[in-house]
């Protein structure tokens, strides 16, 4: 090839630029629409439709908070929120602030199939730095996908759960730094700082213990064909439900399907949550007389803190009761579904809450992202090294003192994804009925933390006296005597 010595004639340059523009018109419109995928990938479609990814730009709390933010900042918020909640619409220039979502077709909203499967590179660690190829190629973990007439296929490490690159893909959207440099949501940072993103040096293929990616934990596989298409054999179909702690608070996508999808997500999320946190409950004589009721908690099955992500909105708390005969001598965190956690915490200084305490420039509590200037987390952490997974520093302990004896106690850890106060705060945007929304906010129970102590069920431990532990704490206990692993 002859090196080009002279500048291109203007006309030719203009023609090339026009060609480039054409190329950037993007992929065939049909590929942007998840309904197109449904034809051959019906299971993926349904699982995704029930997920928070599909609902991300229809979430009434999101819409109200973005509207408030645009008004309060005089538009300076720009595409900050919408670049994660409707990234394809932003990439195509169809919205700059999310205030026109009503006018956009549904297939440009939410985190769509096309968005994840067209990621070409990851250019940062937070605030969605993902760059799309904007071609018609669907990237996945297969290098030998059976050809079809709708899309080309290609292997990409960003969509292969056995690579760190796949964690970067999910993670850089699950990590938010706001305009005041506050690291507001830190799921990715927590994972990077933990042992889960560290391959075993002796065996670089990620393994359960040394390395575990977002997709490994959040996308279980089942052996079956991944497309309804001729010539396709059984492979591993990865769940696209991607459950966490949130559920749709509306009948998204419609009144008939919405409740079914919420039921499916609820069941899957309860299953995923079952081993997530583990608890110990000990009842022992106190040094100066009376009894101490001690609760131990450990982040057992997450690759990040518990809770994680929107921790300024999460309210996780300990529900504990201890009895002397019929009399309740300790009673904290026993809340009815319509009782707000913050109000209860104001009344009960012993209420043990896990969340981020976010505040504004005046030092007052703050829940609007753009006003938050500082945040103080109180979360169940994840160890930095695999060998420290059950280390004492990763456990959290609190004790309640009783003057007399205790003959029975029970504990459980609950989590409400969104505080009732935030719903009320956003209600004057006029976008939803706060009572209807609050009625749909479910309180999750971290299943394995639900335990009961009696002298008969307790086992004697070296440090804490007679204790009862969640079944999933087996390894933690065994570790103290060096028996595990
Ligand atoms: C006409 C049928 C058809 C449609 C429509 C279709 N696909 Fe596929 N897709 C297939 C087939 C066939 C395979 C290969 C399956 C195999 O090899 O086991 C596949 C494979 C894939 C893969 C894996 C690629 C890889 O290399 O790992 C992804 C990702 C994918 N499709 C996403 C999508 C998305 C997103 C849509 C909608 C925009 C879509 N597909 C629409 C038939 C289709
Ligand atoms: C070792 C397994 C594991 C890994 C690795 C993992 N997660 Fe999770 N994650 C969980 C479990 C279990 C829960 C459920 C917690 C619950 O329901 O109480 C969860 C919850 C979540 C939530 C909801 C948290 C909340 O409190 O709002 C998000 C979001 C999430 N994960 C994203 C990610 C992302 C992104 C990554 C990778 C950077 C990742 N996860 C890696 C196991 C994992
Ligand atoms: C949040 C990102 C994300 C979204 C949204 C998403 N996918 Fe995927 N998808 C993935 C990842 C990651 C994998 C690969 C996991 C692995 O096997 O390593 C995958 C795998 C696949 C595969 C390959 C087979 C399999 O099950 O592993 C198909 C086909 C597919 N997705 C189709 C879809 C369709 C259709 C939609 C929309 C209805 C969709 N995806 C939405 C991230 C996403
Ligand atoms: C474009 C940015 C983006 C990417 C990429 C992305 N997510 Fe998400 N994810 C979101 C948003 C936004 C929500 C929440 C939507 C809402 O609730 O309004 C979400 C919600 C979730 C939840 C549910 C959280 C809850 O509280 O219930 C899980 C779990 C999750 N994502 C996991 C993943 C995994 C695993 C990947 C990679 C395969 C991934 N995400 C990739 C933006 C993204
Ligand atoms: C970097 C990507 C990103 C940005 C920027 C972002 N979000 Fe999100 N958003 C997410 C993810 C990821 C989740 C799910 C987090 C989780 O479940 O822990 C989420 C969850 C939510 C939820 C679900 C309810 C809740 O609190 O759990 C609301 C509401 C929300 N975001 C509103 C906003 C608003 C308003 C803005 C702008 C001020 C914004 N988000 C900016 C990625 C983002």
- Residue 19 belongs to a domain: no
CA 279 from chain center: how many Å? 22
Token pair, residue 58, equals 């229809």
Q: Closest residue (by CA) to atom 5 of ligand 2?
A: 303
Quote the CA–CA distance of 422 and 411 in Å, as a whole number.
27
Q: Closest residue (by CA) to atom 10 of ligand 3?
A: 159
Tell whether 253 and 125 lie within a shared domain. yes
Kindly report, residue by residue over 209-243, the tens digit of the pLDDT. Answer: 667 899 999 999 999 999 999 999 999 999 999 99
Count of other CB atoms within 10 angstroms of residue 341: 23
pLDDT value of residue 390: 86
Residue range(s) defining the domain that contains residue 448:
274-480
Kindly report, residue by residue over 113-137, the tens digit of the pLDDT. Answer: 999 999 999 999 999 999 999 999 9
Token pair, residue 392, equals 């004492």
pLDDT value of residue 459: 87
End-of-domain residue from the set 271, 299, 315: 271
Q: Is 301 in the pocket of ligand 2 (CB under 6 A)?
A: yes
By C-alpha distance, which of 242, 167, 176 is closest to 206? 167
Average pLDDT over residues 139-159: 97
Q: Closest residue (by CA) to atom 5 of ligand 4?
A: 170
Q: Is the pLDDT of residue 445 over 50?
A: yes
Q: Is 37 in the pocket of ligand 1 (CB under 6 A)?
A: yes
Q: Closest residue (by CA) to atom 29 of ligand 3?
A: 226
Distant-in-sequence, close-in-space partners of 136: CB < 8 Å, separation ≥ 6 = 27, 28, 31, 151, 152
Ligand 3: centre distance to CA 117 (Å): 7
Average pLDDT over residues 160-164: 92
Average pLDDT over residues 388-395: 89
Tell whether 472 and 339 lie within a shared domain. yes
- Residue 231 belongs to a domain: yes
pLDDT value of residue 475: 61
Tell whether 262 and 291 lie within a shared domain. no
Quote the CA–CA distance of 118 and 131 in Å, as a whole number.
8
pLDDT value of residue 210: 67
Token pair, residue 403, equals 């003057």
Q: How many CA atoms lie within 13 A of 159 on its CB side?
A: 23
Q: Is the pLDDT of residue 180 over 50?
A: yes
Q: Which atom of ligand 5 is nearest to the CA of 175?
A: 1
Q: Is 34 in the pocket of ligand 3 (CB under 6 A)?
A: yes
Q: Is 166 in the pocket of ligand 2 (CB under 6 A)?
A: no
Q: Mean pLDDT for the chain?
A: 91
- Residue 438 belongs to a domain: yes
High-pLDDT (> 90) share of the chain, %: 84
Ligand 2: centre distance to CA 444 (Å): 15
Tell whether 321 and 463 lie within a shared domain. yes
End-of-domain residue from the set 271, 304, 334: 271
Tell whether 190 and 313 lie within a shared domain. no
Q: Is the pLDDT of residue 480 over 70?
A: no
pLDDT value of residue 199: 76
Among 76, 99, 309, 379, which residue has the most ligand 5 atoms within 8 Å of its CB, making it the best to mutate?
309
By C-alpha distance, which of 35, 53, 448, 37 is closest to 243? 53
The residue among 146 and 389 whose pLDDT is bigger is: 146
Exposure string for 49-62, b = 16+ CB within 10 A, e = fewer: bbbbbbbbbbbbbb
pLDDT value of residue 463: 66
High-pLDDT (> 70) share of the chain, %: 90
By C-alpha distance, which of 369, 356, 311 is closest to 177? 369
Q: Closest residue (by CA) to atom 25 of ligand 1?
A: 140
Tell whether 214 and 283 lie within a shared domain. no
Average pLDDT over residues 144-157: 97
Average the pLDDT over each of 6-10, 65-69, 133-137, 440-444 and give the range with the smallest value.
Answer: 6-10
Q: Is the pLDDT of residue 337 over 80?
A: yes
Kindly report, residue by residue over 359-368, the tens digit of the pLDDT. Answer: 999 999 999 9
Tell whether 374 and 236 lie within a shared domain. no
> What total number of domains does the chain contain?
2
The residue among 473 and 147 whose pLDDT is bigger is: 147
With contact defined as beta carbons under 8 Å apart, do 185 and 299 qualify? no
- Measured over all CA atoms, what is the biggest interatomic distance in the chain, rounded to whole angstroms? 95
Which pLDDT band holds residue 10 (cuts at 50, 70, 90)?
Answer: very low
With contact defined as beta carbons under 8 Å apart, do 316 and 306 qualify? yes
End-of-domain residue from the set 271, 305, 335: 271
Among 84, 238, 239, which residue has the most ligand 3 atoms within 8 Å of its CB, making it the best to mutate?
238
Q: Is the pLDDT of residue 268 over 50?
A: yes
Ligand 3: centre distance to CA 416 (Å): 28
Which pLDDT band holds residue 471 (cuts at 50, 70, 90)?
Answer: confident
Ligand 1: centre distance to CA 152 (Å): 8
Tell whether 292 and 241 lie within a shared domain. no
Tell whether 262 and 301 lie within a shared domain. no
Tell whether 142 and 242 lie within a shared domain. yes
Among 174, 243, 422, which residue has the most ligand 4 atoms within 8 Å of its CB, making it the best to mutate?
174
By C-alpha distance, which of 433, 270, 217, 415 is closest to 335? 415
Kindly report, residue by residue over 400-420, the tens digit of the pLDDT. Answer: 999 999 999 999 999 999 999
User: From residue 424, how far is each of 61, 127, 271, 311 by CA, in Å?
Assistant: 10, 27, 31, 18
The residue among 308 and 26 whose pLDDT is bigger is: 308
Tell whether 328 and 447 lie within a shared domain. yes
Q: Is the pLDDT of residue 5 over 60?
A: no
Ligand 4: centre distance to CA 406 (Å): 44
- Residue 149 belongs to a domain: yes
Q: Is 358 in the pocket of ligand 1 (CB under 6 A)?
A: no
Ligand 1: centre distance to CA 151 (Å): 7
- Residue 218 belongs to a domain: yes
Q: Is the pLDDT of residue 207 over 70?
A: no
Average pLDDT over residues 455-462: 85
Q: Is the pLDDT of residue 15 over 60?
A: no
- Residue 102 belongs to a domain: no
pLDDT value of residue 108: 98
pLDDT value of residue 433: 98
- Residue 144 belongs to a domain: yes
Tell whether 155 and 246 lie within a shared domain. yes
- Residue 323 belongs to a domain: yes
Q: Is the pLDDT of residue 290 over 90?
A: yes
Which pLDDT band holds residue 17 (cuts at 50, 70, 90)?
Answer: very low
């Amino acid at each position: 090839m002859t090196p080009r010595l002279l500048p291109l004639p203007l006309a030719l340059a203009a023609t090339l630029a026009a060609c480039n523009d054409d190329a950037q018109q993007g992929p065939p419109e049909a590929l942007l629409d998840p309904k197109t995928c449904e034809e051959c990938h019906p299971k993926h479609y349904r699982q995704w439709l029930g997920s928070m990814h599909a609902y991300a730009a229809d979430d009434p709390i999101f819409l109200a908070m973005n509207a408030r933010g645009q008004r309060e900042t005089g538009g300076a918020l720009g595409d900050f929120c919408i670049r994660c909640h409707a990234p394809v619409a932003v990439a195509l220039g169809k919205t700059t602030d999310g205030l026109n979502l009503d006018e956009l077709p549904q297939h440009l909203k939410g985190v769509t199939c096309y968005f994840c499967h067209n990621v070409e590179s990851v250019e940062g660690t937070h605030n969605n730095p993902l760059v799309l190829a904007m071609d018609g190629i669907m990237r996945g973990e297969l290098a030998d996908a059976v050809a079809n007439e709708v899309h080309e296929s290609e292997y990409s490490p960003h969509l292969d759960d056995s690579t760190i690159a796949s964690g970067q893909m999910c993670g850089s959207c699950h990590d938010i730094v706001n305009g005041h440099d506050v690291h507001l949501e830190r799921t990715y940072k927590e994972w990077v700082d933990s042992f889960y993103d560290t391959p075993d040096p002796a065996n670089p293929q990620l393994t359960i213990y040394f390395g575990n990616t977002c997709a490994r934990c959040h996308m279980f596989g089942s052996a079956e064909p991944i497309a309804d298409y001729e010539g396709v054999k059984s492979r591993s179909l990865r769940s696209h439900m991607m459950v966490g702690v949130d559920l749709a608070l509306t009948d998204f996508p419609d009144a008939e399907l919405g409740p079914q999808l919420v039921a499916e997500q609820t069941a899957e999320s309860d299953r995923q949550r079952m081993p997530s946190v583990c608890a110990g409950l000990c009842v022992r004589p106190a040094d100066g007389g009376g009894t101490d009721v001690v609760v131990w908690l450990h982040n057992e099955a997450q690759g990040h803190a518990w809770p994680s992500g929107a921790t300024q909105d999460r309210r996780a708390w300990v529900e504990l009761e201890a009895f002397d005969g019929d009399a309740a001598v300790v009673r904290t965190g026993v809340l009815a579904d319509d009782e707000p956690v913050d109000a209860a915490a104001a009344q009960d200084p012993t209420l043990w809450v896990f969340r981020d305490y976010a505040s504004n420039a005046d030092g007052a509590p703050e829940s609007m992202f753009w006003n938050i200037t500082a945040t103080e987390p109180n979360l169940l952490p994840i160890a930095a090294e695999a060998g420290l997974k059950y280390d004492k520093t990763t456990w959290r302990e609190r004790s309640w003192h009783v003057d007399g004896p205790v003959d029975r106690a029970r504990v459980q850890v609950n989590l409400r994804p969104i505080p009732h106060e935030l719903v009320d705060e956003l209600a004057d945007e006029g976008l939803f009925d706060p009572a209807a929304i609050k009625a749909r906010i479910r309180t999750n129970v971290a299943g394995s933390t639900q335990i009961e102590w009696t002298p008969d069920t307790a086992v004697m431990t070296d440090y804490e006296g007679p204790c009862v532990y969640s079944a999933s704490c087996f390894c933690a206990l065994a570790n103290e005597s060096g028996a595990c692993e």
